[in-house]
Structure 1
Amino acid sequence: MKIAIIGATHAGTFAAQQILTNHPDYDVTVYEKNDNLSFLSCGIALWVGNHVSNPKKMFYSSPEKLAALGAHMQMQHEVLSVDVTAQTLRVKDCISGEETTATYDKLVVTTGSLPVIPPIDGIDSKGVYLCKDWHDAETLKNLAPSIKRAVIIGAGYIGAELSEQLSLAGKDVTLVDAFPRVLYKNFDKDLSDKIEAEYRDHGVQLALGEKVISFEQQGDQITVHTDKGDYAADVAVWCAGFKPNTALFDGQLDMLPNHAIRTNEYMQTSNPNVFAAGDATNVHYNPTGQDDYIPLATNAVRQGMLIGQNIDQPTVKYMGTQATSAVELYGCCMAASGLTVEGAKMRGLKADAVTIEEPYRPEFMTSTTNVTCRLVWDPATHRILGGAVFSKHDVSQSANVLSLAIQNKMTIEQLAMVDMFFQPNFDQPLNWLNNVALAAINKANQE
């Protein structure tokens, strides 16, 4: 069988690996317009902050590794057009400029995402940078030593981490976002307030609830104009979201309103010979039971593997996602899974929530620190919809427990009684997840 794969960051890389592992006799060609693949962009801020031992280790695969499995690697080849009915591709060699036509039996669309770059005056100025791929990372890493002032636009994970690392390096940092809080889509106010205090304590100016209206380049200085203020710096870094890179398939495949390609539980699109995965496609979001767009590497990896398992015939169903994630900022662990209260409201769902704060282990120990834990549930069914934790202690694995609870449609009553170990080095007789569920039960019984 002849397989064509378009794009090889995470979903495409894992799809190629799985297809050739399961079907070593298949004819698999990978088209990638860049000169690299499998770059872990989540490590950009860590590299800028000198926490990466070797940047080459930020790639977990390579063209050579996929070729060794049997893939025909067409690096620096851009797919210009696709006809899913005729099952043909028009491909351009980015080095020679030569264009050729190729055919396939089945197509894997793993074209990823693109930065959302609105038509703002001056956004193409020399002082405005992106933070998306390997070449962006190299540029920011090389710039970092000479930067004295930086404006970061976008307070999601990427912007939040980059702002933290630059501030720890002694830079004057302003973090701008149109949303009213840092990490607005990931955490409710109870937890985002805590990390905002850390930013302020480390000298970061928070310009939240401000919309960028223009950029102005004057010599080596870039000024970011918002609807509420002006911020001058050496560089501005645009980290304000991503969109599906699916223009090749407009009018050919069913899509969500944001142009993410719709797939079924076997990762097939509306054309059964075309599969899609990663940032180019939807996920099944278990907290809501609906399709959603959640561009995370974890989703891309699993979906890519599923394509490899289903490429011959529908075999393994997609389990969906809880969008589980975590971040460390200023020595604080923040981790979450599922919906926030605001996220539920945005999706038309009713949700209730409770937050507790307690020492993560007994106070008879010579040291302990607090963990803040938040739980979100459906007030009608008591089914858990989401949760989050915050602490100076590493409580990140709590997000995986919450993910499993949401995946299995557990209720607050069930989570309260889950058997979790007690050992004074690690936790209390009742783990904080048990306790937040008990607090949720108490609140639900009073309402």
Structure 2
Amino acid sequence: MRIVIVGGVAAGMSAASRAQRHNPRAEVVVFERGEVVSYGACGLPYVLGGQVKGFDDLIARTPKQLRARGIGVRLRHDVTGVDAKARTVTVTDRATGRSAAEPYDRLLIATGVSPVRPDWARTPLKGVHVLRDIPDGQALDASLQGARRACIVGGGYIGLELAEALRRRGLSVVLLEQAPEVAGRMLDRPLQQQVRAEVERGGVDVRCGVTVQGLTGQGRVSGVQTDHGQVRADVVVVAVGVRPNVELARAAGARLGRTGAVAVNLRQETSVAGVYAAGDNAEALHRVTRRRVHIPLGLTANRMGRVAGVNMAGGEARFPGVVGTGIFKTFDLGVARTGLTQTEAEALGTKAVSVDVQSTDYAGYHEAARPIHVRLTGERGTGRLLGAQLLAQNHESVKRVDVVAALLHTRGTVQQLFEADLAYAPPFSGVWDVLLVAADRLGRAL
């Protein structure tokens, strides 16, 4: 059996490792168009901010290590076409320019996502960057040398993490967001405002409701032109979102879902026999809404790849879906969410109710106790738990979100959360943890 994998990062390498382990007799070949495989892209902002020593520290396995385990890794090889009937892929060696047809019995398309580049960002000016992979990070790092002013366009995960990283580098930072607030797709409005306030306390000039119209400069960027005037900048980072890379899947004849990502079943199979998709380019089942969603995150990609690898090697595995859990840190604030926000639930026509509880993460009398804010959402009539949003000044404290995420996977209720036997000691929580207080309050509201 010959298993061909296109893409050598999270989903692709998880699939390759699992397939080789499940069926050591199978030939597993990974084609990666870049120069690095098996690395943690989520760590890029932390290298740039100095919390991680270097980009090499993000690499989990080198090609040499993978080849020693029996996995064929071919770097700088671009897969440009698929013949699903003949079960071949067209591969171009970027070093030589030569193309060849490579056969497969099972094919995994793990091509990930690409950063969205608005028309104004398609420029030959130096100093304009996106941040998706290690080469992007290295290019941005080089641009930051000697720079004094940075402009980040986009107030999502990457933009907010980079705002802290660039301030740690000593740059003045302006963050532009077209929406009314930052973190608009992750949180309800009251919590968005708190995130913005934290970023501003960190010394970032946050400007929301601003539309970028173009860039200025000669040879190198010198500013960002907006509908509210010009922002001077030596470096511009474009972080306005991502889109799934589906061209290869489309060429293979695979069906795309309503999200624009590749439609797959629970075994990560596409609509084409023998062709699988996994990672940031694929849809997933949302266990709360029972709808197909595109939520490109690291654990999801790795888990999808693991499932695809087992199935391609002749085993049986299923990806159970996601509940939309996300977490990030910006300056001293930890931010987490899972399930649905009130805004998302209302958009789906769900009869949702939310309560807000502001307390302390540790026992109130403990010297390390810091503020924590929990917004808990449930469904009127059924009592079903729908989601949670957390903000905390001890950023580790928002990992409480995992308790709610676990219950959402079982379609649990608000009452079940209230009845949960959570751990207690003063350096960890109050005797009534803030989640229990929120569940009690939400239960009464419902």
Could you say what secondary structure the match of 1:120 adopts? helix
1:442 corresponds in structure 2 to: 444
Task: Report the aligned-residue RMSD.
Answer: 1.7
- Residues 275 and 55 (structure 1 numbering): CA distance in 2 closer, same or farther, change over 3 Å? same
Distance in 2, matches of 1:77 and 1:200, equals: 44
Residue identity matched to 1:292:
V
Q: Percent identity?
A: 29
| 1:251-296 Cα shifts (integer Å, max 9, x gaps) | 6011023431110011111113111100111011112111100111
Higher mean Cα deviation, 425-434 or 211-220?
Answer: 211-220
User: Following TM superposition, by how much is the alpha carbon of 1:382 offset from its aligned partner in structure 2, in angstroms?
Assistant: 2.0
Note if contact 1:10-1:278 (Cα within 8 Å) is conserved in structure 2.
yes
Instruction: Provide the aligned length of Structure 1 versus Structure 2.
Output: 444
Matches within 5 A, 1:293-332: 293-313=294-314, 315-332=316-333
Could you say what secondary structure the match of 2:375 adopts? strand
1:6 corresponds in structure 2 to: 6
Higher mean Cα deviation, 49-58 or 29-38?
Answer: 49-58
Matches within 5 A, 1:251-400: 252-313=253-314, 315-393=316-394, 394-400=396-402
User: Following TM superposition, by how much is the alpha carbon of 1:310 offset from its aligned partner in structure 2, in angstroms?
Assistant: 1.4
| 1:204-235 Cα shifts (integer Å, max 9, x gaps) | 11121222222222454432222333212101
Note if contact 1:127-1:217 (Cα within 8 Å) is conserved in structure 2.
no
Residue identity matched to 2:120:
I
1:408 corresponds in structure 2 to: 410
Distance in 2, matches of 1:61 and 1:428, equals: 42
Matches within 5 A, 1:154-169: 154-169=154-169
Distance in 2, matches of 1:213 and 1:296, equals: 30
Matches within 5 A, 1:189-228: 189-218=189-218, 220-228=220-228
1:428 corresponds in structure 2 to: 430
1:15 corresponds in structure 2 to: 15
User: Following TM superposition, by how much is the alpha carbon of 1:133 offset from its aligned partner in structure 2, in angstroms?
Assistant: 0.8
Higher mean Cα deviation, 267-276 or 123-132?
Answer: 123-132
Distance in 2, matches of 1:66 and 1:348, equals: 48
Higher mean Cα deviation, 397-406 or 325-334?
Answer: 325-334
- Residues 85 and 352 (structure 1 numbering): CA distance in 2 closer, same or farther, change over 3 Å? farther
Distance in 2, matches of 1:407 and 1:312, equals: 27
- Residues 80 and 307 (structure 1 numbering): CA distance in 2 closer, same or farther, change over 3 Å? same
1:110 corresponds in structure 2 to: 110
Distance in 1, matches of 2:122 and 2:256, equals: 32
Distance in 2, matches of 1:219 and 1:27, equals: 48
Residue identity matched to 1:30:
V
Higher mean Cα deviation, 306-315 or 193-202?
Answer: 306-315
Note if contact 1:127-1:234 (Cα within 8 Å) is conserved in structure 2.
yes
Note if contact 2:154-2:240 (Cα within 8 Å) is conserved in structure 1.
yes
Note if contact 2:174-2:207 (Cα within 8 Å) is conserved in structure 1.
yes
| 1:64-117 Cα shifts (integer Å, max 9, x gaps) | 222122122211100111112221111100001111111111101101111111
1:90 corresponds in structure 2 to: 90
Gaps of 5+ in 2: none
User: Following TM superposition, by how much is the alpha carbon of 1:36 offset from its aligned partner in structure 2, in angstroms?
Assistant: 0.6
Note if contact 2:361-2:428 (Cα within 8 Å) is conserved in structure 1.
yes
2:240 corresponds in structure 1 to: 240
Residue identity matched to 1:324:
T
Could you say what secondary structure the match of 1:279 adopts? coil
Note if contact 2:373-2:390 (Cα within 8 Å) is conserved in structure 1.
yes
- Residues 350 and 230 (structure 1 numbering): CA distance in 2 closer, same or farther, change over 3 Å? farther
2:43 corresponds in structure 1 to: 43
Matches within 5 A, 1:183-194: 183-194=183-194
Could you say what secondary structure the match of 2:402 adopts? helix
Note if contact 2:358-2:374 (Cα within 8 Å) is conserved in structure 1.
yes
Could you say what secondary structure the match of 1:310 adopts? helix
1:67 corresponds in structure 2 to: 67
Distance in 1, matches of 2:106 and 2:349, equals: 37
Q: After TM superposition, what 4+ stretches of structure 1 lie above 3 angstroms from structure 2?
A: 121-124, 218-221, 345-350
Distance in 2, matches of 1:43 and 1:259, equals: 27
- Residues 90 and 233 (structure 1 numbering): CA distance in 2 closer, same or farther, change over 3 Å? same
| 1:298-346 Cα shifts (integer Å, max 9, x gaps) | 1100000001221244622211112322112112221221221223344
Note if contact 2:259-2:283 (Cα within 8 Å) is conserved in structure 1.
no
Distance in 2, matches of 1:22 and 1:3, equals: 12
2:229 corresponds in structure 1 to: 229
Distance in 2, matches of 1:377 and 1:71, equals: 46
Distance in 2, matches of 1:272 and 1:175, equals: 46
Higher mean Cα deviation, 185-194 or 76-85?
Answer: 185-194
TM-score by length of 1: 0.95
Residue identity matched to 1:381:
T
Distance in 1, matches of 2:349 and 2:275, equals: 32
1:180 corresponds in structure 2 to: 180
User: Following TM superposition, by how much is the alpha carbon of 1:354 offset from its aligned partner in structure 2, in angstroms?
Assistant: 1.1
- Residues 311 and 129 (structure 1 numbering): CA distance in 2 closer, same or farther, change over 3 Å? same
TM-score by length of 2: 0.95
| 1:22-63 Cα shifts (integer Å, max 9, x gaps) | 111001111111111122221121111111134312011221
Distance in 2, matches of 1:442 and 1:266, equals: 40
Distance in 2, matches of 1:34 and 1:315, equals: 31
